Structure 1
Amino acid sequence: MAPTLRCLLFFIFFLLLLRRRAAAAPVFTEFLYPNFSASSVNYLEKGGIFFYSNTSTFYGTLSSQAPQSPFVFSIVHSPTSAVVWSANAAKPAPYTAELSFNATGFSISLPDGTVLWATPKLPRPANAACLLDSGNLIVLDAANVSMWQSFAYPTDTLLSSQRLPSGSYLSTPGDDYRLMVTDSDAVLLWSIGDAQQFWRLSSDIRFFKDLNSQVAYMAANESGLYLFSSAGTVVFEVSLPPTKLRILKLESNGQFIIKGYSGTGSALDQALVAPSGLCDLPSSCKQLDVCTVQNQAATCNCPASFTASHNGGCAPSDGSTVFSPSGCTSRNKSQESYRSLGGGVGYIPNKFASPVSSGRDFASCRDFCSGNCTCLGFFYSASSQSCFLVKKQIGSLVSNTNDGVSDTGVGYIKVLETPQTPSVSSRGSSSSNLLPILLPSIAVFLLIIVLIFAGTQWHRRRRRHHSGKRRSRTSSSSKPSNMKDIYLGRNPAWPSPGDEHGFTGDDSNSDSDEISIPGLPTRFTYSDLASATDNFSVKIGSGGFGEVFKGQLPDKSFVAVKRISAALGGGVHGKKEFCTEIAVIGNIHHVNLVRLRGFCTEGRRRMLVYEYMNRGSLERPLFGAAGPVLEWQERMDIAIGAARGLAYLHFGCDQKIIHCDVKPENILLHDGGGVKISDFGLAKLISPEQSSFFTTMRGTRGYLAPEWLTNSSISDRTDVYSYGMVLLEIIRGRKNRTVESSGGGGGGSSSGGSGIGEVGYFPMAALEMHERGRYLELADRRLEGRVREEDVRLAVKVALCCLHEDPGLRPTMASVAAMLEGAMEVTQPRPEALNFLRLYGRGFVDYGGSSTTTGEQVTGTTSSSSAVSYSYMTSQEVSGPR
């Protein structure tokens, strides 16, 4: 046969063989039709893939680890191989099982017909299934109407444009962790049997709250993560770097991670990890291990009196075993006892939990746990008399030295004592011989116990009777005649006899130890704080409300102790009111807010204990002549941090908090770039419904919004105005009002072309330079050109938007932070709403207060003088200490 003929026949045979194989091989398609079936065996050579979306962005697959191993029906993102949905991830199907699609929908069945997974019952027969380019798998009827979609049944992943309604959740295989959307937040839960919360979106430093409304659903898009109301308006938002596709996944360890795909390559860019702390997960370490962050790494060690267990984690050193709820049915309560975890050990879920009781003693808390068969232990705080139970499951612990861990007291773990095994000889007839001997002995023993108890109670009553007489004599002999005046704050500067600090005697209210309010931070005694501050010897601040001292607690951490001369300037008179407000403030945790670590209320003594910020307030590096100049980027980081803190106060707390005294002195700095708002603990706590009725003037001259002058309602936008003034001072590096001015202008700006000179009122100069488009001249001269004009332009525009005379035109603090970060387009200032700055600058209107306020202390008091005052008062003369 000729070579040419042989080649032709071989080619024809090859085409027939190829056609036959193509008929048997799986066909990749966008649609599936009824009577389709697939298994990991017949699709093995194609990696289990059996259909694609229109642009091949996603594909459906039967994924398995190896041949003849269980498979999972999944939807996969093609470029990155990221699994975005799985039908049976918790229970992979045997390799002999089969995936089918017919008129009833999808199902996975065994050869004997046992159904392992199936779509819910459909209202009409299925006509086709389609995988969309969004990653959504849908089932269609004959009219091409969707009857089922994978987006409505999320597993552990959410995609861009996919909604997670309120009440729904993502969950890990096995349901160990959940990300649940509630009507007010998004939370992470562990141990679903008891749903222990260990993170929430509103506590994350990256979130903003734009609206006080119920949450309807969560969704992400190219610009960030959002919680929406039923009307489609944004309630919460987290701005993220823009990307083409957003993939949100709940990892198997409980972390919620958001990644983005740029559209090229095969890598996903990580945009958010929550919680981000190394010890913020319930399983950061093994069971009962204490997680501690040291040098950017986490270490795990057993608490005192505990040792490493052969099963992993920690167990009591005395050989007793940690109680397990599985022993509830056959438990012997006489064998139960508790082991202390020692001081300085906390539990992450307690940070987000409410106490099961408050105002009760330690014994009551222990009884709560003993009476609950699922309780594994409890935490009891003696300072707040709050009780937290740990039920059904307990993970790792955390060192309380880590920032952000609530003080929930000392923990106790329920254990079972190792029972003594009786000897064989004692089990038979000998037990009957011992009974006549033991019964009288037991009776005598019980009688002795009763007598001891009765004697103890009599002795205690006798001691209380004598101590009550002593207190009565002491009170009557030492109570000053002017106690009422001091209590009402009429002259808090007058010290009472016998107390050099102006505090003496006892309150007319009940003793502070009897005040039990849930959520109180650590309660210190006066002697504790006197010792911590070396008898109040290192003074770091003073003002109208009292003095601030540096101190060091026994755990070696530094604190700032604010000793208040009167109960919050007359705003909170009694101990109960004081403690109620402290309970609210003490539970506010945000990276840009100074943390309240504790308080003291003994007699008339009122003290607040804050974390110590070692760089002091912003005014020192910003206005001080000595020290290095703040570079532009550091200034913007400070501005953004302060904006985030105020945004949290306005919308992140259960009660809206308006600071009312935003100024550089209340923005504190710490090494490493820490920026925190202080003095919000003395702000007025109001609900959204009450905000329109709060009109009492308070604050600092030079930062007061115009609505203070017109007796208009005060809202969160009042803080926005004050922040705008601070932002201008950050830009210029000087106070907004200066005494000297160049060019002969009496408080205006120089009109010369060379620059603005030393203006008398900088906000007016900023407005005029904005109108001329000359921004670089507004920057701090000490920067010597180390700043770009477009950066100054952005900051000036944001500041001017904050200064609009109409509060409704000012942006929210969340929007301010987003604009400064570049995550939101900067809105244009409206000149007609800023003309009042020219009146302030040219002296027609008092620039920082009403014409009837002379500047002594702007807290509602007025002067009889009607003359306009332009003298600048220092911030500490009109505000409290830091």
Structure 2
Amino acid sequence: MDVMKNNPVVMLAALFPCLFFKIHICLGADTISANQPLSGDQTIESAGGIFELGFHKPGNSSNYYICMWYKQTSLDNIVWVANREKPVSDRFSSELTISNGNLVLFNESKTPIWSTKVSSTTSTTVRAVLRDDGNLVLTDGPTSPRPLWESFDNPAHIWLPGSKLGYNNRTKRNQRLISWKNSEDPAPGLFSLELDTSDNSYKILWNMSESYWTSGSWNGKSFDNIPEMGMRQNFLFNFSYFTDVNESYFTYSSIDSTIKSRCVMDVSGQVKQLSLFGLTQKWNLFWTQPQRQCKVYAFCGAYGSCNEKSLPFCNCLRGFEPKSQSAWDLKDYSGGCRRKTKLQCGNNISIVQNGEKDKFLQMSSMSLAEAAQAVTTANNEECESTCLSDCSCTAYAFNNSSCSIWTGDILNLKQLSEDESTGKTLYVRLAASELQSPKKQNGAVIGAVVGVAAGSAVLLGLIALLILRQRKKVLRHGKAVVEGSLVAFDYRYLQNATKNFSEKLGGGGFGSVFKGRLPDSNVVAVKQLESVNQGEKQFRTEISTIGTIQHVNLVRLRGFCSQAKKRLLVYDYMSNGSLDSHLFQEKNSNVLEWKTRYQIALGTARGLFYLHEKCRDCIIHCDIKPENILLDDEFCPKVADFGLAKLVGRNFSRVLTTMRGTRGYLAPEWISGVAITPKADVYSFGIMLFEFVSGRRNTEPFADGKVKFFPSWAASIIIEGGDVLTLLDPNLEGNVDVEDLTRVCRVACWCIQDDENRRPSMGQVVQILEGAIDVNSPPIPRSLEIFVEHQENIIFFTESSSRHSSQARSNTSNASSKVKSPTP
């Protein structure tokens, strides 16, 4: 510094790049004062270089805002915005400075458009300082006993560690997080997170009025609806509650000081906890609520329908179009949809065109909007007539002998799956021109009726014939009695169906599987269970529970047999067998193309998500691997053997490694003897994803004869930004969507993290594979780092790898002294 003071040439050399690049003259300065304002491209920076503040233009916006952001990452890094509702267009003519004891933003016209609004003062020592915790503090000099104002008391859409989110008991003001309007406009949006002091819970509101999610009451350790917070090993943050006569608030801190975190009230209407791990420089989703996008109230706006099985999630109803297509392009659906054609009713048209009145669009499997008016009617026709006679009525529904009508705009519509029992039928009012005239359909309807009648007569005859034949076969081959949704088979019945268990399909730790054909010609797979020590009553109870589980990506259980010590399960037969028979193909064989692999991975994830979070009791599969993923004739994946861990008891896991040879798929915590959670399945799924990519067992020798643990090598390529195509199955010849390949590889790396808390849930995996949320580059697990460092000395075997060649065995037998205990 002395050299600079005494040498004008050196001072000029240091000053020139600052002026050229329009950077603040005092590089690294953390203070704004009356003599040191901020304008143009100038910024201030916290002492430790963590946060930076200055003028910023979000996305492709033409407006500028005073923003604070993380300096360490350039992606989605804004944590606070001052002038959310009043942007400036010329940052070089605008200025953020100290004026009358306040931090004030003057626009191009030198008009104050934002201020800290504290009591004015003539003090010349007032300054604003940006701290390393992300708090912008207004003080009256370094000796000031307390801040005059601080950004922590005035949050925008982000809740940072150490800051408060609560309620001021004196001013009756709620410190709430409010979402941006869209990704390019930080103006307050429709969604907000705030404290409810009645039960010390947090709730998310739509339009400051409609609450659609709550954390549940605070019990001193966790919120009732977020129980995992109470378990330190399952949550990365410490929450604390404070209250006195002045204020009530929560604050939180990261358990691991090396992890940076932020809580966001997102434009999606979801509150999200994001974390920045290590050197990845990208935010990773740790936790989100509500977990499903369509749980967000009115996310798609008026006349918009939310469907979680489609992308984008929002679509306008038939006969409607987005009010603002540009807003929808920015994923801001709050404006909703408008009619393409005006209704006839209420248009002061004395003669209805073509003699046609308004009609109704029938929409099945809908979650109905709220704010309906109940009307007493006898049937659907009367309900329709009631709505049609009222020009303000926009829709009606007649369900369970109850008529409901809606007036005005319809909000919060959701399209449900056909198998969801809560779905109702909604009739939406449209102009007649938007619907096909029924006159054009009369001929087709009459033909269909005649065809159905004739077909029904033939069908009834065939059914009667089949019943007679079935009865004869049952008497000859044993009994099959329907119990609830399942069939209780006689042992002799299944013995005959499988030709005395002669055609074996496979086997494992739970027993052997045989192909069978029932008297009705349906082909089934019959599993003979082993090591089932339950009593008859308990076995039937658990079987009946598993039998009620229905999902398109789970193998259907048709029935069972329980006689003496004989326990058998009867499943639908999958014509394309198990995934391993297609995935691990020899060269020049029929190769499973990438698109099919991706759909199989997604379907498997959906099945596991259903088991973990949608069943009445959480079911942990405990044995996820390609052999337990079956494929139907259209290659739709079906998770098999789910629930068997529940039936047999989880003590089987101690012998699983020798009985089934699946050690390569077991999570580290399981091998170490720790009680497992659904995250054990997540780990196994991640290991399996690597096999989707490579088309080979993770522990097979490479073409050069070396034996490496594929996930460790793949993780190093992914995290170091290498060419992911080098990981791809060479049989695919590069025919792959690189974006999908990268997504799968990253998800796999996240799934196999050593710490189960860092692994995503299967629900998050589904969202990532569906493309609903992005996935960043993960940190490399320490266990894999060890494999990378010692690949020449570590050989990882799994007994299930039936394709190990004799050459590989001989190559490794000579190095047996180097083999270490295989730990994932």
TM-score (norm 2): 0.42
TM-score (norm 1): 0.40
Which of structures 1 and 2 has the bigger CA Rg?
1
